[in-house]
Each structure stands twice: as C-alpha cells, then as structure tokens.
Amino acid sequence: MSLYENINKRKKAGKSRSKSKSTISPESYTAMQKGFPKGKSGMRVNKKSSKMSFIDNSDMSEKQKTTMKKHAEHHTIKHMKMMVKLMGEGKSFTEAHKIAMDKVGK
C-alpha cells in the first residue's frame, strides 16, 4: 500500500495519527509534502506550457488549443500527447480524456 493510500485509509476510518505519533519517517513526510520530486520523470505533472509546443502544431481549433493548455497544468506530457492524437482522429475532448486516463493515467 502506498504512503498516500495508507494515510487516506486511516483518515477515512477516523484513526489518523498526529504528526508527532506518525510512523512515517521525517524524510518520507518531507518528500510527500514536496510532491516526491525524485519520482519518475514521465509521471511528473506539467508546470510549464512551453513544453506543450505539440499542441500548437496540431490541427485543432483555437478554442481546443486553449482548453488543452489549461488541461496540461494537471496532466503529464504522455497524457497530453495521447489526447492530441485521439482528438486528431476525431474524438471529442471528453472521450479523448477518458481514453488517455485509462491507457496512460494522469
């Protein structure tokens, strides 16, 4: 079970511990608060829209491009590339998002 799952499971059950009684190491807790910066690079959420040049080069309308750029703030590049590909094949934004979530994840 992951660190987040364990914390959320205990919280839901009403059995969460205070920080002083936590069994999580201080290093793990600090890393969790920072968003696990040393994780896999493909799993990081996009922070810069400059990496999203493939959206500008796609055959989407300006409204779709704007929507995709906002959407990119919360998803990985892999997710976004899958969505651009699917939308290029004629899928709607919602359909492309659902498929990308199933196949690639966030």
pLDDT digits (tens, 9 = 90+) for 21-78: 777 788 877 777 777 555 555 555 545 445 566 676 667 778 887 888 888 888 888 8
C-alpha span between 38 and 67 (Å, rounded)? 29
Is the distance from CB of 72 to CB of 53 less than 8 angstroms?
Answer: no
For the full predicted model, state whether its pTM sits above 0.85.
no
C-alpha span between 84 and 75 (Å, rounded)? 13
Q: What does the CA dihedral 10, 14, 15, 17 come to, rounded to 10 degrees?
A: 90
Instruction: Catalogue the E-assigned strands of the chain.
Output: none
